Amino acid sequence: MTRKLRSNFEHGTSRWAVRRSQWKALGLSDEDMEKPKIAVVNTSSELSSCFSHLDGVSAKMKEAIRAAGGLPFEVRTAAPSDFITSAGHRGGYILPSRDLIVNDIEVAVEGALLDGMVCLASCDKTTPGQIMAAGRLNIPSIMVICGYQRSGEYQGKHVDIEEVFLQAGHVASGGITIRDLTGMSDNAVLGPGVCAGMGTANSMHIVCEALGMALPGSAPVLANSPRMMEFVRLAGERIVQMVWDDLKPRDILTRESIANAVMTIMSLSGSINTVKHLQAIALEAECDVDVYALFEQYADKIPLLAAIRPNGEHLIEDLEAAGGARAVMKRLERFLYPDAMTVTGNRIGEVLQNVVVQDERVIRSADRPLSMRPSIVVVRGSLAPAGGIVKLGIGDKRTLQFSGEANIYHSREAALEGLARGEIGPGQVVVLRGMGLKGGPGMAMASALVFALDGAGLAERVAVVTDGQLSGLVNRGLVVGEISPEAAEAGAPLGLVQNGDRISIDVEKRVVDLDVPQMDLAARRERLQPFASPEEKGWLSIYQRSVQPLSRGAVLRK
């Protein structure tokens, strides 16, 4: 333990003297100031139950770091929650908050030249933002999974927040009463932590472990449970040794580990949002890998091994009890790259050596899968040269081919009003555009329309294409989301679509086409006025000017 720490400045220098003055005022000793200095990255907020327990977790983490011989410093970042922060600017703050977190961490941790960090991983955008920051700063880092929330029952049936989100789209059509929706809402969340299904938050927690950035066995986990708190203690102990060993994120975040994460998510029918987040993580870690191509490469190779709500009837608690991410990876062992490094200092092949799956009903074997059909499908074609994403449910019997005339809207509110007026009918392809990274800006949420179409009985009778963001959950009907290039990009095919144009989708062939002659499109391109993205101020304005395409993970320009 003699490695020189970057946080220990030369005695007698100005930096040493002024830092010593500041830290003496905090009650630190000269001995403390020689220890490894560890950032405890906390996204605590009173705005959402997702984060309401993190101050308590942070306190336990700091105790563990001190006990292991380190010096912890708690630092705070933005704390976005999809169900809370999506209220303003058409949901445009949600995705940009991820990159704000990255920069929050850089300012606090790199500005102070701390030696390592532990990140308290919680809601959807905090986890990828934290891993991206780890990749960018490349100092010893470990992700700490802070758990999923307890869900409840309503009228004798399980209810969680994902079900509330879905059923809210059924009120206008009379599919559910406001009274029942209120009852479901009252009982859906019974404690702190992230949404209790295989949405983006739990998917990203599992990604942490599959990447090797979290302790094996720690995802998923019930928030504030004794099991979770034991992993907090172990992570606090481990990060100090990682600093002395100089084990850094770029030793862990490799093409092989990212491929392992892709395969693990595909085997669980995880969130489509993991695609862009993994691409962003790769770019921040300066790892040359095309994540979209990996999802295409493994689409027909990786078996579907588990059906966790809302994809099936098993609960996230069942997945945890069956062995969690580690057990899923054990099932995938023959597909994985065994030499990928983990925060333990061991390779994933060594980590999985003695793992036993606890419940074969929950996590199937690769030889007896639920399905071999991919649940996350990248489609390309003349409408989406750079790709779009389709999420298919487990055992989904919906049609995988659709052709119809375009019916165009430029906001979810306009589309919902059009639906209420009866403008949307069977056989149409509803085009919801101008909602992408720049057009939103920030990728406005399109899921409200998808759920409303389901409530109106049209989900199986229309298709939807959009450059907006979709829920990480199952989307009802045939929906192609995150079309790239987005309509706001100059000359993008999505921006050239006119009402009545025919759009064809074939998920089995991985194709989404605009059936308009190229000569006509060229003429339209010459006459096209640039999409009038909303004039924003503040953070969204900065994001709009700086964000890169989805193929680059929607990271900010370097």
Contact (CB, 8 A) for 209 and 325: yes
Dihedrals phi, psi of 117, to nearest 5 degrees: -155, 150
Gap between the Cα atoms of 499 and 37, Å rounded: 59
The question of whether 471 is a catalytic residue gets the answer: yes
Strands 463-466 and 511-514: unpaired
Cα–Cα–Cα angle for 275, 277, 278, nearest 5°? 70
Q: Which amino acid, one-letter code, is at 401? A: Q
Three-state DSSP class for residue 163: helix
Nearest alpha carbon to residue 97 among 538, 496, 551, 558? 538
Three-state DSSP class for residue 30: coil
- Residue 107 DSSP one-character state: I
Joined together, the tokens standing for residue 138 give 């490349």
Beta bridge partners of 121: 145
Q: 58, 203, 218, 471: which one is catalytic?
A: 471
Q: Which strand (E) or helix (H) includes residue 137?
A: helix 126-137
**Exposure on the CB side of residue 239, measured as CA atoms within 13 A:** 38
If one counts every other C-beta atom within 10 angstroms of the C-beta of residue 19, the result is 17
The single residue listed with the structure tokens 């739990």 is: 202
Q: Which residues contact 541 (CB under 8 A, 6 or more apart)?
A: none
Beta bridge partners of 116: 38
- Residue 89 DSSP one-character state: G
Q: Which strand (E) or helix (H) includes residue 482?
A: strand 478-484
If one counts every other C-beta atom within 10 angstroms of the C-beta of residue 180, the result is 15
Gap between the Cα atoms of 29 and 33, Å rounded: 7
Sign of CA dihedral 473, 479, 480, 481: negative
By CB atoms closer than 10 A (0-12, 13-18, 19+), residue 254 is buried
Q: Which residues contact 14 (CB under 8 A, 6 or more apart)?
A: none
Gap between the Cα atoms of 299 and 269, Å rounded: 11
Cα–Cα–Cα angle for 69, 70, 72, nearest 5°? 145
Strands 502-506 and 428-432: unpaired
Q: Which residues contact 118 (CB under 8 A, 6 or more apart)?
A: 38, 39, 40, 41, 61, 65, 141, 142, 143, 144, 235, 236, 239
Catalytic machinery residues: 471
